[in-house]
Amino acid sequence: MIKYIQSIRGMHDYLPNEVESIKNIENIIKNIVINYGYSEIRLPIVEKTALFKRAIGNYTELIEKEMYTFEDRNGEKLTLRPEGTAGCIRSGIENGLFHNQEQRLWYLGPMFRHERPQKARYRQFYQLGLEVFGQKGPDTDAELILLINRIWKKLGISDEILLEINTIGSPQSRLQYCKVLIDFLNENKTYLDKQCYSYINTNPLRILDKITPHTKNIFEKKQIPLLRHYLDDSSKKHFSNLCNLLKISDITYRINPYLVRGLDYYTGTVFEWISKNKNITKTICAGGRYDNLVEKLGGKNTPAVGLAIGLDRLFLLLKEIKNKNFIIPSRIDAYLIYDGNHIQNIAKAIKISEEIRCYFPLIRIRMNHGGGSLKTQFHRANKCGARFALMLNELQQSDTIILKNLDTGQQEILSQSAILSRLESLVNVNNIS
């Protein structure tokens, strides 16, 4: 018999019996993502190598040793995408998606990294990514976290996953911090392994993520400087507002001052959801803000925040615990308008939109992000094709909501308790197709 040709190490098949349950899980996630008003984008698997180098940073493991890079027949240097954010921004810039508009995008597909294969670490793996462009406030970060929380809840794994958050501040504050961190690391280099040692002058922050718990212990006793003492005021305010919004929304999280993420492009908020399951102790989902990346890739200054769920790890976790047509929305059903200048109002708007989502899991509702005048918010509502606008009636200091049909212009004032039944009669929420 002729010897058969095997698959490539670290690249595995999903067989038909697995694919059904994988599709079910993907559909649950997609429905929730659509429920939050995100639109799908499909991107090439291969991009120019220069794109990833510029986006991710030269002194990262990913660029140094994990990329699948090759020359095509014309001698052009190309790379199999190791992550989705760089390609998503490249497309946004190229197609004018960031011109005076907000984008909430999602994608799903394979990513490639030449890592050492092990359980839950593959060379081809699948990510479902979410990226929000054009909003800089903590409301956007908070809602992303709420969205992921809803996914874990729906999949019944909330208790299996721990959310860690941190802020890595502005590039300027990070630069100041890195100076003192480099001094500390140089004084204590005997505790570092070869790889961490090599990062002292090129990517000292990365060392925080790489050191063993034992070394961390020693460093803490030696009072390693912490980034939070070097943060700029605006990052501090952003982070404390985010923490408040999470608390008000009953999200459990832990602040991890060592959480810095592996790619260079992050600014401010970073987060990771880590599996507590003893057989898969890895990060299931991770992300953060990258407010300077669009500009760095040649676009105009556009704040952004995003994350990626590692689907392979999620499937493994679900298997471990449970042994066990998506439709692009042509329209959004409702757009929630409110005065975003006060955190109490943001919290109230979050509460109401979350209640509506609980009641109508298939409704497509967008909460306004980033404040703005009434006119601006109506403009945004129309732009995303909303059928109805819901306005919190803050002016009257009352608990009523104004419901406006954006097609006919008709509006009515409803009590908060009446809004659910009224929406039910207006939007065919049980049968959206």
Alpha carbon distance 230, 239 (integer Å): 14
Q: Looking at 137, 138, 169, 310, which residue binds ligand ATP (CB under 6 A)?
A: 310
Alpha carbon distance 412, 403 (integer Å): 5
C-beta of 63 vs 390, nearer to ligand ATP: 63
**Contacts for 419-425 with beta carbons within 8 Å, 24 or more apart?**
419/352, 419/356, 419/390, 420/355, 420/356, 420/359, 420/360, 423/334, 423/356, 423/360, 423/363, 423/388, 424/360
Q: Looking at 216, 282, 351, 387, which residue binds ligand ATP (CB under 6 A)?
A: 282
Kindly state whether residue 138 participates in binding ligand ATP, applying the rule CB under 6 A.
Answer: no
Q: Looking at 98, 125, 177, 265, which residue binds ligand ATP (CB under 6 A)?
A: 125
E strands present in 54-195 = 68-71, 77-80, 103-112, 124-133, 161-167
C-beta of 134 vs 262, nearer to ligand ATP: 262
Kindly state whether residue 305 participates in binding ligand ATP, applying the rule CB under 6 A.
Answer: no
∠ CA 247-227-296, rounded to 5°: 95
Cβ pair 380, 335 in contact under 8 A? yes
* Terminal C-alpha separation, the chain: 52
Residue the block writes with tokens 């959310």: 163
Number of residues that bind ligand ATP (CB under 6 A): 18
Kindly state whether residue 285 participates in binding ligand ATP, applying the rule CB under 6 A.
Answer: yes
Alpha carbon distance 48, 46 (integer Å): 7
Q: Phi, psi (5° rounding) for residue 25?
A: -65, -45
Cβ pair 161, 152 in contact under 8 A? yes
C-beta of 117 vs 225, nearer to ligand ATP: 117
Q: Looking at 121, 228, 236, 319, which residue binds ligand ATP (CB under 6 A)?
A: 121
Alpha carbon distance 263, 88 (integer Å): 16
C-beta of 261 vs 348, nearer to ligand ATP: 261
With CA atoms as reference, report the closest residue to 413 among 427, 431, 396: 396
Stretch that binds ligand ATP, among 67-75, 276-284, 339-347, 377-385 (CB under 6 A): 276-284
C-beta of 82 vs 299, nearer to ligand ATP: 82
C-beta of 215 vs 283, nearer to ligand ATP: 283
Alpha carbon distance 372, 374 (integer Å): 7
Kindly state whether residue 57 participates in binding ligand ATP, applying the rule CB under 6 A.
Answer: no
CB of 363 to ligand ATP, least distance (A): 29
Alpha carbon distance 309, 84 (integer Å): 11
C-beta of 49 vs 377, nearer to ligand ATP: 49
C-beta of 228 vs 282, nearer to ligand ATP: 282
Kindly state whether residue 115 participates in binding ligand ATP, applying the rule CB under 6 A.
Answer: yes
Kindly state whether residue 369 participates in binding ligand ATP, applying the rule CB under 6 A.
Answer: no
Alpha carbon distance 163, 320 (integer Å): 19
Kindly state whether residue 114 participates in binding ligand ATP, applying the rule CB under 6 A.
Answer: no
Residue least distant from ligand ATP (Cβ): 310
Restricted to residues 83-102, the positions that interact with ligand ATP (CB under 6 A) are: 83
Q: Looking at 32, 67, 208, 286, which residue binds ligand ATP (CB under 6 A)?
A: 286
Stretch that binds ligand ATP, among 114-122, 189-197, 245-253, 319-327 (CB under 6 A): 114-122
Binding mask 211-230 for ligand ATP (x = CB under 6 A): --------------------
Cβ pair 400, 414 in contact under 8 A? yes
Residues forming a β-bridge with 48 = 78
Restricted to residues 244-273, the positions that interact with ligand ATP (CB under 6 A) are: 262
C-beta of 111 vs 386, nearer to ligand ATP: 111
Return residues touching ligand ATP (CB under 6 A).
83, 113, 115, 120-122, 125, 127, 262, 282-286, 308, 310, 312-313
